[in-house]
Amino acid sequence: MPTTPRTPSARTPDSASAPRTYLITGAASGIGKATAARLRAAGHTVIGADRTADADGVAIAADLATDSGRTQLADQASELSGGRLDAVIACAGLAHFATTTVNVNYFGAVATLELLRPLLAAGTDPRAAAVASVGAVHPTDPAIVDACLAGDEAAATAAAQHALDRGEGHLIYGSSKAALARWVRRAAVTDDWAGVGIPLNAIGPGTVLTPMTEGMLADPDVRKVVDTTVPMPLNGHARPEQIAPLLTWLTSPENTHVTGQFLFIDGGAEALLRPTP
């Protein structure tokens, strides 16, 4: 039975800036760490999650490549938050030529959002966002994307292994991020999300200077390939701190009507790669 949509309340400067409780995956480094720092500096509570809990600001250690890790994330998030969250940001991701990239980037991110949705439903002005990538507009492996969207992790993992076996491991990352962006668009307008007043969006960063990319960019030949496949005419490579403001706004009470969107923050890369959207 369809749920009754929430009606957004009028926003005042005080309500828009009131302290909120966030959960951010991938909080130990990169975009996740920068976003957590920005939110904490604004007076919000951030529950950080990552594969290990030995980093500053990481309260939950959970391997999102596994079912047990996803369940652990949900259980600890419920405990630490007191059963309610105001926002969830799924930042955790991998860029390896490996099957685990699909397990984390798609299934880990979707599980994060789905398992924590009940906590959001109990929160105030709940919001959610996922970090995809401009790589989603690159060539993809339809077998990986289709299996992801069908919710068949075994088939998606097998398809990723087939890509590796035929020397096309480079398709795995973009496929996982394309599937995530499509899931967000489909899920955002359903009764579970829009129907209960929870905006859900994805962002598509270009090349960001994080631990995940530093090895690639340190090699001049690889850097040339990266800059060719992700051309960024506006200000070049981004720092994580330059991505955090977009995630902050999307998950703030001020965002009352943006949902189901795949927002590129890529210095113009998507516009060059796909001039006709």
Q: Give the count of beta carbons closer than 10 Å to the beta carbon of residue 172.
A: 28
Contact (Cβ atoms closer than 8 angstroms) between residue 183 and residue 148: yes
d(CA 260, CA 112): 17
Of 201, 96, 186, the closest CA to residue 148 belongs to 186
Kindly name the residue from 22, 106, 107, 173 that is annotated as catalytic.
173
Q: Is 173 a catalytic residue?
A: yes
d(CA 270, CA 267): 8
Q: Give the count of beta carbons closer than 10 Å to the beta carbon of residue 235.
A: 9
CA distances from 87 to 21, 24, 29, 51, 68 (A): 7, 9, 19, 20, 23
Specify whether the backbone of 82 is left (phi greater than 0), alpha (psi in -120 to 50) or beta.
left
> What's the DSSP call for residue 208?
B
H or E segment and range at residue 248: helix 240-250
Q: Any idea which residues carry the catalytic annotation?
A: 173
